[in-house]
Amino acid sequence: MSDHKDLTLRVWRQKDAKSAGEMVTYQAKNISEDMSFLEMLDVVNEELMDNDDPRGPISFDHDCREGICGTCSLVVNGRPHGHEKGTTVCQVHMRSFKDGQTITIEPWRAEAFPVVRDLVVDRSAFDKIIEAGGYVSVNTGGAPDANALPISRQTAESAMDAAACIGCGACVAACKNASAMLFVGAKVSQLAQLPQGAPERRKRVVAMVEAMDAAGFGACTNEGECEAECPKEISVSNIARLNREYFAAVLAGE
């Protein structure tokens, strides 16, 4: 069996935010199955530059290529980050695709994530939500002994699970409403469960929900696509916690 593959790529090309985009077909030949998905795109881009393609290389976001930063925001064959569960697209390897397969590659599709160029989208709306959440006023000092923390192990692990969110936006891209509730739920949950986050707890959730709505994200209809496509497998239980925190804050007059 050959360890190299020939693939057909259907890639979204868009010059800039104001231009109309379209799908363009490219051939990716002699691709090693040991390459990551982004390495495959690098090879395709080298060929486009060598051949002086009028469109230039395909623009896409990337940074760590280790599955921890969330920058590699691509929809591959209709699924954010591709077909492998709990994996960012930079960690998907070409061995999981078949020789001769056609692969469709698109950017995140959401009004709040406008396309900048090709596969690159502006996700600064997430930054604005985080900024709206403010800060933690407690001076935590040095790292205390774990046994001295006034929280249970279950609560600590739940907060850490929520903090695993890398803010990639796959939840938004997967949702038919382009909802950011899983992202906001995770960011609220990681602090709401800890004593350090208590002083600003109510103001924080109200401000973050208002920023989310102002950015143009849709409503949650509890269909679970966000959890299914999240590369860090953040639980939708965080959405329930977000709703509880928000309603409690509103009833308290925040």
197 has pLDDT over 60: yes
Structure tokens at 12: 């979204």
- Sorted by where each starts, the structural domains of the chain and their CATH numbers stand as 4-117 (3.10.20.30), 124-251 (1.10.1060)
pTM more than 0.85: yes
pLDDT in tens, 46-102: 999 999 999 999 999 999 999 999 999 999 999 999 999 999 999 999 999 999 999
> Which amino acid, residue 228?
A
Give tens-digit pLDDT for 16-61: 999 999 999 999 999 999 999 999 999 999 999 999 999 999 999 9
CA–CA separation, 144 and 55 (whole Å): 55
Residues 170-180: tens digit of each pLDDT: 999 999 999 99
Residues forming beta bridges with residue 80, ordered by sequence position = 75
